[in-house]
Amino acid sequence: MFKDENGTVIYVGKAKDLKKRVSNYFQKKDHDIKTQILVTKIKNIDFVLTKNEVEAFLLENNLIKKYYPYFNLDLKDSRRYAYLHFTNDEIPVLEVARLRNKEGEYFGPFVSGSVRKIIMDSVCWHFKIFNYKPSIKVKKTIDVSDYKKKVLMVKKILKGNTIELISELESNMKEASKKNNFEYALTLRNQIEAINTLKEKQNVEFSKKVDAHVINYEISAGEVHLLLFNIRNGVVEEKQEFVFSEKEDFLEEFLLQFYDSVEVPDEIILPVELSSALIEYLSNKSKKKVKLIVPKSGEKKKILEFVAKNITATFFAGSERITALKEALKLDKLPHVIECFDISHLHGTNTVASMSNFKDGFADKSNYRKFKIQANANSDDLLAMEEVVRRRYSGSLSKTMKKPDLIVIDGGPTQLGVAVKVLEELKLSIPIISLAKQFEEIYFPNNPNPLRLDKKNKGLLLLQAVRDETHRFGNAYRKVLKRKEVWGK
């Protein structure tokens, strides 16, 4: 346990060779920034001997939970995992559960809250399942036997047994059509379509029905970019992303903390071998035999490669897009931060301006800004553009927000000219362009000839995403103002 000058535990680790492990911190010269800072803060070192490595894993986990050391991994996101839970009532209700502390049947955990919501909303809508406790009055109108049949169907979906269910529903749909019961047949058809839509969310399947986690990672610039895919009943459900500093035994520490708050699956598929002690620790924790598999070939090797491709798409796709944009626009440096402006109004009223912010090719919504345009600019887009650019780069925002590497104006050369004039008056030298939607033409200051890029160019695709997001954000704000004007709320 490394401690600071106040005696606070700032890092917990374990080692078979304590001298070698501790010496590395003080002798190596190529530590990442976070480890360098850790070393400067170490004022005291304490340790505990254990009988074996399994016991060391257990103690390390307990100490991290006790002290929450600043320099250990912080995997708070994993604590947000939730299940779908069918209550054990006479009329079962489908609800979200954070803990498995009630009677009934649980499905999950779901790595992604958004996917969990899509599934829950879809099955409740199409199969008429309650997601709240029905009142006594409502209970009297329900055919309990019919409702429980629907519950059984939804349980099949949540367990991944969709093929058998679809076949059954298709048979019932044909039978209903023969009897001219078209309304019921339509209901069945909608249920089939809902199930197929949910299957599309589960886009990779294993031939063997197994609960597993597939973990892969890539190290770049001293940081670990790790993806974890959750496989439930043989189906890849969703992914979760983690980024943390590279250090010795980082994967062991990740697994130790992650599975402290998440149920350990039957199998964990990894790209590298780990100690048998960790396997024993996880097995003891989950009270079942856990397999850590490093596949060399076959479908498990393919799924590991699939996760590797997702790492590139998840963490590094933005880098490809900003590099392509730099080359297309002939910029001096990479446009790590892009700000885009758009004017939105309804027949000259409720004029607003919106600004989106993209960092390294992805939306950074914490730095979005919206502006209510002054009354004298309500019918003039150019005056509105002049106002918003001036407010962003000369007002209080100029002191609290960093300047972007590229400014994008939604519009043509006229809108661009207004923005350029403001930047010149403010004596700011920031690369600026405009994107005209009709032909997706890119305009540069003092140049009447636009640039047209191939529609598949990654730089153009990034500009379109930035422009469209700004437009969406502005319209949403304008609608809020309109609603307040009409309804007063």
pLDDT tens figures, 5-21 = 988 999 999 888 888 88
With bands split at pLDDT 50, 70 and 90, how would you rate the model's confidence at 334? very high
pLDDT at residue number 423:
96
Residue 93 DSSP SS3: coil
- What's the pLDDT tens digit per position in 121-161? 777 877 889 988 888 888 889 899 999 998 998 888 777 66
Query: Residue 258: inside a domain, yes or no?
Result: yes
- Residue 332 covered by a domain: no
> What's the confidence (pLDDT) of residue 488?
54
Domain shared by 308 and 393, yes or no: no
Place of tokens 């400014």: 407
The arithmetic mean of pLDDT across residues 243-271, rounded, is: 89
Between 311 and 113, the higher pLDDT residue: 311
Same-domain check for residues 224 and 344: no
Is residue 329 domain-resident? no
CATH number of the domain residue 49 falls in: 3.40.1440.10
Residue at a domain's end among 260, 286, 318? 318
pLDDT at 171 over 50: yes
Question: Is 149 inside a domain boundary?
Answer: yes
Range of the domain at 309: 212-318
Q: What is the pLDDT of residue 120?
A: 80
Strand ranges (E), 386-431: 406-410
Domain harbouring 230, CATH code: 3.30.420.10
Under the banding of pLDDT at 50, 70 and 90, the label for residue 111 is low
Task: State residue 466's pLDDT score.
Answer: 94
pLDDT digits (tens, 9 = 90+) for 415-462: 999 999 999 999 999 999 999 988 899 999 999 899 999 988 999 999
Alpha carbon separation from 66 to 60, 285, 428 (Å, rounded): 10, 18, 51
Contact residues for 403 (Cβ-Cβ < 8 A; gap 6+): 393, 428, 430
d(CA 98, CA 23) in angstroms, rounded, equals: 42
Residues 361 and 460 in one domain: yes
% of the chain residues with pLDDT over 90: 36
CB 409 within 8 A of CB 341: yes
The answer as to whether 323 is a domain residue is no
Q: How confident is the model at residue 487 (pLDDT cuts 50, 70, 90)?
A: low
**Domain check: are 139 and 241 in the same one?**
no
The pair phi, psi for residue 227, each rounded to 5°, is: -120, 140
Question: What's the rounded Cα separation, in Å, for the pair 106 and 120?
Answer: 13
Average pLDDT, the chain: 84
Is residue 474 in a domain? yes
Last residue of a domain, one of 318, 345, 372: 318
Tell me the HSE value of 5 on the side-chain side, using a 13 A CA sphere. Answer: 2
Clarify whether residues 259 and 296 are in a common domain.
yes
Q: Quick check: 9 and 236 in contact, CB under 8 A?
A: no
Q: How far is CA 287 from CA 265, 267, 283, 284, 430, in A?
A: 11, 14, 6, 5, 60
**Does 124 share its domain with 12?**
no
Q: Which DSSP string do the residues of 142-175 spell out, in sequence order?
A: --HHHHHHHHHHHHHHHHT-HHHHHHHHHHHHHH
pLDDT at 202: 44
Sign of CA dihedral 78, 80, 85, 89: positive
Residue 93 lies in a domain: yes
Alpha helices in 28-143 (DSSP H): 33-41, 53-67, 113-127, 136-139
Same domain flag for 117 and 256: no
Q: Per-residue confidence at 271, pLDDT binned at 50, 70, 90?
A: very high
Cβ burial, residue 424 (10 Å; 0-12/13-18/19+)? exposed
Q: Return the pLDDT at 252.
A: 92
Question: For position 93, what pLDDT does the model report?
Answer: 93
pLDDT by residue (tens digit) across 37-90?
899 999 988 887 777 787 788 778 878 877 889 888 766 544 445 788 999 999
Order of all β-strands in the sheet with 2-3: 9-11, 2-3, 44-45
Question: What does the pLDDT average to over 242-247?
Answer: 87
User: What is the pLDDT at residue 435?
Assistant: 95
Question: Does 384 share its domain with 457?
Answer: yes
CATH of the domain at 434: 3.30.420.340
Asked whether residue 465 is assigned to any structural domain, the reply reads yes
Q: Tell me what pLDDT residue 236 has.
A: 58
Rounded distance, CA 269 to CA 307, Å?
11
Q: How many domains does the chain have?
A: 4
- Measure the CA–CA gap between 334 and 456, rounded to whole angstroms: 20
- Distance of alpha carbon 194 from alpha carbon 254, whole angstroms: 36
Among 20-24, 91-95, 166-170, which is the least confidently predicted range?
166-170
Residue 306 shares a structural domain with residue 356: no
Q: How far apart are CA 404 and CA 326, in angstroms?
A: 14
Region of poorest pLDDT, from 105-114, 200-209, 240-249, 275-284: 200-209
Comparison of pLDDT for 94 and 236, the residue scoring more: 94
Domain endpoint, select from 166, 201, 236? 201
Tell whether 249 and 117 lie within a shared domain: no
Q: Specify whether 119 is located in the same domain as 241.
A: no
In a shared domain, residues 378 and 303: no
